[in-house]
A and B are shown apart, each in its own frame.
Chain A
């Protein structure tokens, strides 16, 4: 599709563009790689200004307790101790951290009560981390233990409260009806009701959180380097607790971040503590790097943890008429910012199915566990799991193939763009074709002699107690989040009724370019990155947009003060937003170059100047200026320079009336619907309960593929995380509220031993809503992988009547179900 063509600029006829091979659409090698491969990359761990001192945290060992006394005297007597910071100083000099919902107050160090194991109580600073950890052991804290609140379902009624003043362990709840739900459930031939659960998992990036904060006493301001995600959007979580205005707190994210997957948006506690410590030490740089145990047990980085009850109303002919989902999400000790991930599933509430009547009902429970953050998919994976499980069970009840039931209810290509009952719109796609194709692939390659599903082999394996199966599914990846809806939970719900379209503001993506006198192009991203190859993407687009070579382009980053507030890297957003911003900026620069040449050098009409091959020419070819010459020509300019442009790419929904209703009512708005049809082939060992994925077939469509290599990389990585979620990963707690997975020996991540061969195929349905036709693709495999794997497990174990009703389906759980089923 358009991937292989040069971009054209509608409406600028004189803006003739070079005819040459396009970098966009090719799998350009990444510009990030060289520095990483040679050890020269700069991660936060590598940043250490002269004189840096190191912070360590004293953390609660109890899930729920009153802090009776904190004695730091022995710690302070340690000759290497520079500072022991307690909540008393925080309360005298600083402010609490913002919470995701009104009515909660959280200090960077526990105040009065500890509410989860791992909650920081005291921060100590010493000359190196070894000494700081020695000093941690010298802090003496006296606790009065309280009963822990552990089970989220019980928590709702529990008399013990995580936050006494709030009066309830339910931080927020809402019931939303779309269509005629009652009618659908009354009139349908059948109603099925089931329960499912999704365990606490998270991104667990290989690099932990880290910060180096320096207070500048001369300017009474802070410089903070940290690997936070969305540094221009969530900067309020840092400047507010410090009690400073945004322009006094300069956040910078290093060019290299060792993964985030959403989880690092909530590392502000560390940033504020390091900054406060630096201020207490008159501006000595303070560094903190979380260790892995801190990260896993109390790093504010777990994600969705849900118990579902789902009802489906369907007729005898298989038509699904209504969907009713209720769930409780265990948010842990504080409802942090991503409370809105309880709502994101509304944007894909019926997945690829056409279901008119939907009820969505949730409760956010508070317990004595570490608080939630965002993770790849932002609350969607558990929803898709629950939905697909109930569809599988409805098919069993009806006695039909699950695939047939799915096919019957899929949204048809003619219905695109498709409006969901919850008001979000799917832009484009052919879901039935995707389902057919993935089925065909497996039939052809595996359900044949010598294939994994060779009927003889399947039979023989069965006799050995190994059950093979697969069940194709189609899943939507909602992309390019709007931002306005994300504070629905902090908004007066009644006021939403009267809300006007004019009240809605969506954040654009910002991008800058400057021509340098040596002919190179300097550009700036306003967003941080963590391995997705943003620099490469921008380089490709600029090379095409300006007719230069990738080697002539430098891509840098703006800090939080210089950059306007951006949404940044989130919600499968960057390919779409950055490509829109880069193309827009390149076009603006080309126009400016023509103007500059016409006015200052050629003395002709702008229309008589064309931009071509990395320079401008008079239309008759008589004169030419290179980019270097243009930059030089512009350098004497006092006012606005023409060779320096910035551009804001508006969020796609801003100008699309289709989204008006969702926007004004603050329902999740995701203007791109990338999708995948998956067919993982699983084998369940009925002796051990182990689930082995033998091969993973996936057909994926993310619209125009700007860089197919990166698109594939995202798919592979997402599917690996999806596999981990489905089968291995979980932050379990015991009945006393003690976390059980605090090392990587207990929190199991997929390794080469678990990851099967993945076979990808692509289709390309460009988005009609985005500048480049790209759809988001960053969260894909994690969104669709777990539900796909669970459906295949259901197929493999259909004879036993077993359903993968609990994620992760660990060997222990599979065995238990096999035993119970006997």
Chain B
């Protein structure tokens, strides 16, 4: 049986990578096959990124890449070279929940919470794109995310509440809270 001494790994190929994660610039070397989800969780400490299926169906791993919601389990880290990535950790400011997070809390839109980061990020993209979605648009906008606990009813309510909050909020306040440092 091989033992500890075999620390000389096979030479795995690596590539350079520079990106911004929640406003912080990171330059590093990674294996080309490293998934963005694993990179964010393990190497950037953004463990709010969840993996539920690792094949692009559940949406638990959803993050924003240059503002666009992206399944980080279907993306290799090297693919986002030069991009700005926002995870759920990038939303709250100084311990204050982002209005979307607050709305999920108020409406009991989470139970086990494993899907929640993904839903919150999908909601972020949806509301950035369409600040006042109707029910059908909410359903459409979140159709790429699975929640096994809540039955979605409270998630719809949370999105509505967040939309109201955000529309009332002064806009400069808003950009402060988007994270990503733009």
Contact = CB atoms under 8 A, between A and B. Distances in A.
A713 B143 CA distance: 20
B152 interface: yes
B3 interface: yes
A749 interface: yes
Contacts of B91: 38
B52 A207 contact: yes
B53 A292 contact: yes
Interface in A1-52: 27, 29-30, 32-34, 36-41, 43, 45-46
Contact of A258 (B49, B50, B143, B154): B50
B104 A206 contact: no
Contacts of A46: 47
Contact of A259 (B9, B114, B145): B114
A758 B117 CA distance: 24
B6 A79 contact: yes
Contacts of B154: 712-713, 716
A523 interface: no
Interface in A696-717: 709-710, 712-713, 715-717
Given A29-B105, A84-B1, A743-B57, A37 B110 contact: yes
A256 interface: yes
Chain A CB within 10 Å — which of B7, B48, B91, B114 has the most? B114
A526 interface: no
B40 to A, nearest CB: 10
Interface string B91-114: 110000100010011101011111
Contacts of B54: 291-292
Contacts of B49: 39
Contacts of A749: 146, 148
A46 B57 CA distance: 21
A413 B6 CA distance: 73
B143 to A, nearest CB: 5
B50 A45 contact: yes
A758 B41 CA distance: 36
Contacts of A208: 52
B11 to A, nearest CB: 10
A205 B31 CA distance: 30
Interface in A748-763: 749, 751-753, 755, 757-758
B37 to A, nearest CB: 11
Interface string B102-143: 001110101111111100100000000000000000111011
Nearest to A755: B152
A716 B113 contact: no
Interface string B147-175: 11111111110000000000000000000
A719 interface: yes
A30 B104 CA distance: 11
A83 B6 CA distance: 11
B70 interface: no
B182 interface: no
Interface in B27-76: 31, 33-34, 41, 46-55, 57-58, 60
A39 B1 contact: no
Contacts of B115: 206
A758 B6 contact: no
A37 B88 contact: yes
A76 interface: yes
A429 interface: no
A258 B112 contact: yes
B20 interface: no
Nearest to B89: A39
Interface string A205-227: 11110000000000000000000
A445 interface: no
B148 A205 contact: yes
Contacts of B156: 752
A257 interface: yes
Contact of A713 (B114, B138, B150): B150
Contacts of B120: 37
Nearest to B45: A39
B109 to A, nearest CB: 9
A34 B50 contact: no
Contacts of B116: 36-37
B151 A709 contact: no
A256 B3 contact: no
A130 B112 contact: no
A531 B147 CA distance: 12
A40 B89 CA distance: 8
Contacts of B58: 206, 292, 744
Contact of B88 (A32, A39, A43, A206): A39
Contacts of A710: 108
Contacts of B88: 37-39
Contacts of B114: 43, 205-207, 258-259, 531
A532 interface: yes
Given A206-B58, A206-B114, A755-B151, A33 B52 contact: no
A712 B108 contact: yes
B97 A82 contact: no
Interface string A717-755: 111110000000000000000000001110001011101
Contact of B9 (A40, A79, A532, A717): A79
Contacts of B55: 292-293, 743-745
Chain B CB within 10 Å — which of A27, A291, A292 has the most? A292
A206 B112 contact: yes
A709 B2 CA distance: 55
Contacts of B153: 716, 755, 757-758
A297 interface: no
Chain B CB within 10 Å — which of A256, A293, A718, A751 has the most? A751
A721 B1 CA distance: 46
A789 to B, nearest CB: 14
B146 A531 contact: no
A256 B113 contact: yes
Contacts of B6: 79-82
Interface string A73-90: 000111111111000000
A647 B4 CA distance: 48
A757 B135 CA distance: 10
A472 interface: no
B48 A39 contact: yes
Interface in A517-572: 530-533
A758 B1 contact: no
A717 B33 contact: no
Contact of A79 (B10, B92, B106, B138): B10
B148 A130 contact: no
A710 B111 CA distance: 9
Nearest to A718: B151
A36 B108 contact: no
B101 A259 contact: no
Nearest to B138: A752
Nearest to B98: A37
Contacts of A781: 151
Contacts of B60: 206
A720 B111 CA distance: 14
B51 A30 contact: no
Nearest to A80: B9
A43 B154 CA distance: 23
A81 B49 CA distance: 28
7 contacts: A33-B113, A43-B114, A80-B9, A206-B146, A259-B114, A292-B58, A713-B150
Given A32-B113, A292-B53, A531-B112, 16 more contacts: A30-B108, A38-B48, A39-B87, A79-B2, A82-B4, A206-B148, A710-B108, A712-B108, A713-B151, A716-B151, A720-B148, A721-B151, A744-B57, A752-B152, A752-B156, A753-B143
The 9 lowest CB-CB distance pairs between A and B, nearest first, are A39-B48, A531-B112, A258-B114, A716-B151, A36-B113, A720-B151, A744-B57, A531-B111, A752-B139
Interface of A: 27, 29-30, 32-34, 36-41, 43, 45-46, 76-84, 127, 130-131, 203-208, 256-259, 261, 291-293, 530-533, 709-710, 712-713, 715-721, 743-745, 749, 751-753, 755, 757-758, 781
